[in-house]
Structure 1
Amino acid sequence: MSTPLSILDLSPISDGSTAQEALRNTVDLAQHAEQWGYHRYWLAEHHFVQVASSSSITLIGLVAANTSTIRVGSGAVQVGHHTSASIVEAFGTIDALYPGRLDLGIGRSGHRRAQFGAESARTKPTTTTRRTEVRDGVVVPPPFDPGRIADRSRFVASLGALQQRGAQPLDFADQVAEIRALLDGSYVDSAGIALQAVPGAGARVQLWVFGSSAGESAELAGRLGLPFAAAYHVSPGTALDAVAAYRKAFQPSVQLAAPHVIVSADVVVAEDDATAQHLAGSYGHWVHSIRSGKGASAYLDPDTVGPLTAEQLRLVDDRLATQFVGAPDTVVRRLEALQRVTGATELVITSATYRHTDRLESYRLLADEWARQATQAA
């Protein structure tokens, strides 16, 4: 039970609330998380939806300024929307004021415009024979098929709005190489001209790669000997495969002698199972808003939300089955299983509830129970 717990925050906006309030809640949660012993506080990057973490690097600086010891970082910067220099200079600026506390997590989400094309063409869902498995207490559903999202026009439009006209993202591996060179001060452009990121070169920033499947991100992280974060909370059907691919590709580096894996989980904790289930009652509606193609909606009040239809449930059933909901001991048992099956070095917890007080209590109860059981096991 010595596995550290960390937090991944999307700064969700509750129905009837505002982005301003969500941002204040994020800073408040980060301050509490530091008191409760969480190891890292990561901010996600999402755009044109009802979450307030769109400018995640700015928010990282604000969280760092309002905390003292907890590591702060990105989970993850979507590098296809940024130049390598802008990323390194931004993190270098924050590190200059709060040195040695930053995690630069990078993901390739911003590269998907080329994959989907400029038009929101409909892709027929693929069929799979794989059924939901339970591996030593961990639910592993069939992989979610993006072809089930009938309308991707909003998603494609958002990708277009996040890039200059005519701009094309670098190959992911090439951009990771640029970021590393800018951080260590060895960057040379194609014409042989050396450039130094100021601030940025020499920043004490820990570089992470995020991924959700056994593809390019997992293999690249392993090959470069970088730490890897697997998104079980987003893609529970493929996250375990991502971990396996990372471990298979891993080569020791200056940064790591052995694989270092952090695995995410979506969690709601309350004093008892029934209360937690009630607080999580609008989670399925939120996931459906994402998977329907509309983008994350405001988080609804479980006291007033109606039930999902059978068709809606079919689109989100994997995420409902893999959300960790219950009393502290219930959730800790399931998280222990996830850590055991994946061999995770750390777990990163993401929680969304309608009321900020309920989200605070969820994280507090989890931290207390995790520490209590660690003490008993010692």
Structure 2
Amino acid sequence: MSVPFSVLDLAPVVSGSTSAQALRNTLDLARRTEALGFHRYWLAEHHAMPGIASSATAVLIGQVAAATSRLRVGSGGIMLPNHPPMVVAEQFGTLEALHPGRIDLGLGRAPGTDAKTARALRRSPDSLSVDDFPEQVQELRAYFGDRSIVTPAAGNEPPVWLLGSSGYSARLAGLLGLPFAFAHHFSAENTLPALATYRESFRPSAELERPYAMIAVSVTAAGTDERARELAAPQALSFLRLRQGRPGPLPSPDETAAYPYTPIDREIIESRMSSQVIGSRETVRKQLDALLEQTAADEVMVVTSTYEQADRLRSYDIVADLYELSAAEAVV
């Protein structure tokens, strides 16, 4: 099954390390995955999260694009309610002008943070409603028009994607005729309904003649199934702590093993890991092939978070080798 594979990076900050090291790891991973044949490299926007260093998303996109030569680089995504659309247009018009044909603008409708932080970002509680998202998207895109007075956005519009974890953005992406990226890595139960909604509501546009759907999938690949589960365990604990309102850096393997899990904690973690692709080469290939068969996705975006950078690189090495990525080509 030959589809393009891409990368979603949250620039994870691990326990005992720093944000600066996380950002250096991002550049390291971008260079490595470009050499392996991955198609695009997206950075996620989150704020006030001790374990995520990609909060200044547009800045980091510029650094990754400058450190690579072929990868498409973009946002997975810019949380539009957090920002004045004109500012986003200026930022991504600048990126597109500096790196023509290599920038993607993925947009999300959730703040991606708590209400207090969201208010600090926009400085106006009246501007935070996600119900304004369709109008914000249209306003943003208008700034890229050739007659726009917004410099350097005018004439420098990168491809716009809508991101989602439910049916709302799926339907909007279909109605606007835009490519759609679904967050299977944290909303697996909604994947198939959202993709169906996107395809059913799709209307051809100047950007896209037919639907183009990408799914983001959490993947941890290693030499054996047991080793892969060990590598994935810290990320599962990090998710548990987030649900408990105690976000922090990605814990070490020792912290993970020593954590006093309750029966409910273990249920949450098992549920979380059951929707991820975790295992040896054979297991990863089997699970990804099954997911591609179920979803008919046009592209897969792989997100991998491990405590050691070497293990993260190795996981992407395995995926690249399994799917011979240089042979796959994307439509968008």
Q: TM-score, length-normalised on structure 2? A: 0.93
Mapping of 1:225-240 within 5 angstroms?
Answer: 225-240=177-192
Letter in 2 for 1:263: I
Pairwise CA distance, 1:44: 0.2
Q: How far apart in 2 are the matches of 1:232 and 1:166?
A: 30
Pairwise CA distance, 1:237: 1.2
The residue aligned with 2:119 is: 160
The residue aligned with 2:316 is: 363
Residue in structure 1 matching 2:144, options 169, 183, 202: 183
Q: How far apart in 2 are the matches of 1:4 and 1:166?
A: 40
The residue aligned with 1:74 is: 75
Q: How far apart in 1 are the matches of 2:177 and 2:59?
A: 28
Pairwise CA distance, 1:373: 12
Matched, 1:173 2:124: no
Comparing both structures, which one devotes a greater share of its residues to helix? 2
Q: How far apart in 2 are the matches of 1:157 and 1:340?
A: 41
Q: Which runs of 5+ in 1 are unaligned?
A: 113-153, 187-194
Q: How far apart in 2 are the matches of 1:55 and 1:271?
A: 35
Q: How far apart in 1 are the matches of 2:142 and 2:42?
A: 23
CA deviation map 1:310-331 (0-9, x unaligned): 1223334432111111112211
Residue 215 of structure 2 aligns to a residue whose secondary structure is strand
Residue 243 of structure 1 aligns to a residue whose secondary structure is helix
Matched, 1:246 2:198: yes
The residue aligned with 1:27 is: 27
The residue aligned with 2:241 is: 289
Taking a change above 3 Å as real, the CA distance of residues 38 and 374 of structure 1, as seen in their structure-2 partners, is closer
Is residue 37–residue 325 contact of structure 2 (8 Å, CA) maintained in 1? no
Q: How far apart in 2 are the matches of 1:11 and 1:205?
A: 23
Is residue 75–residue 104 contact of structure 2 (8 Å, CA) maintained in 1? yes
- The alignment-based identity, stated in percent, is 41
The residue aligned with 1:148 is: none
The residue aligned with 1:258 is: 210
Letter in 2 for 1:301: S
Is residue 38–residue 325 contact of structure 2 (8 Å, CA) maintained in 1? no
After TM superposition, the structure 1 stretch with the greater mean CA deviation from structure 2, 239-248 or 60-69, is: 239-248
Aligned length: 323
Q: How far apart in 1 are the matches of 2:3 and 2:325?
A: 13
Mapping of 1:187-206 within 5 angstroms?
Answer: 195-206=148-159
CA deviation map 1:93-132 (0-9, x unaligned): 111111110010000012x8xxxxxxxxxxxxxxxxxxxx
Letter in 2 for 1:289: R
Pairwise CA distance, 1:89: 0.7
Q: How far apart in 2 are the matches of 1:166 and 1:278?
A: 43
Matched, 1:331 2:284: yes
Matched, 1:352 2:305: yes
Is residue 162–residue 180 contact of structure 2 (8 Å, CA) maintained in 1? yes
Mapping of 1:35-114 within 5 angstroms?
Answer: 35-49=35-49, 50-110=51-111
Q: How far apart in 1 are the matches of 2:23 and 2:317?
A: 19
Residue in structure 2 matching 1:220, options 172, 177, 189: 172
Q: How far apart in 2 are the matches of 1:345 and 1:79?
A: 25
Residue 267 of structure 1 aligns to a residue whose secondary structure is strand
Pairwise CA distance, 1:8: 0.2
CA deviation map 1:114-171 (0-9, x unaligned): xxxxxxxxxxxxxxxxxxxxxxxxxxxxxxxxxxxxxxxx822222222213441461
Residue 41 of structure 1 aligns to a residue whose secondary structure is strand
Letter in 2 for 1:290: L
Letter in 1 for 2:114: F
Matched, 1:272 2:231: no
CA deviation map 1:276-324 (0-9, x unaligned): 11111222211112222233x2111124422532122333443211111
After TM superposition, the structure 1 stretch with the greater mean CA deviation from structure 2, 266-275 or 162-171, is: 162-171
Letter in 2 for 1:272: T
Letter in 1 for 2:74: G
Letter in 2 for 1:298: P
Is residue 119–residue 128 contact of structure 2 (8 Å, CA) maintained in 1? no
Is residue 236–residue 319 contact of structure 1 (8 Å, CA) maintained in 2? no
Is residue 7–residue 41 contact of structure 1 (8 Å, CA) maintained in 2? yes
Q: TM-score, length-normalised on structure 1? A: 0.82
Q: How far apart in 2 are the matches of 1:34 and 1:156?
A: 36
Q: How far apart in 2 are the matches of 1:349 and 1:268?
A: 9
Is residue 102–residue 204 contact of structure 1 (8 Å, CA) maintained in 2? no
Residue 255 of structure 1 aligns to a residue whose secondary structure is coil
Residue 183 of structure 1 aligns to a residue whose secondary structure is coil
Q: Which runs of 5+ in 2 are unaligned?
A: none
Instruction: Give the RMSD, CA atoms, in angstroms.
Output: 1.9
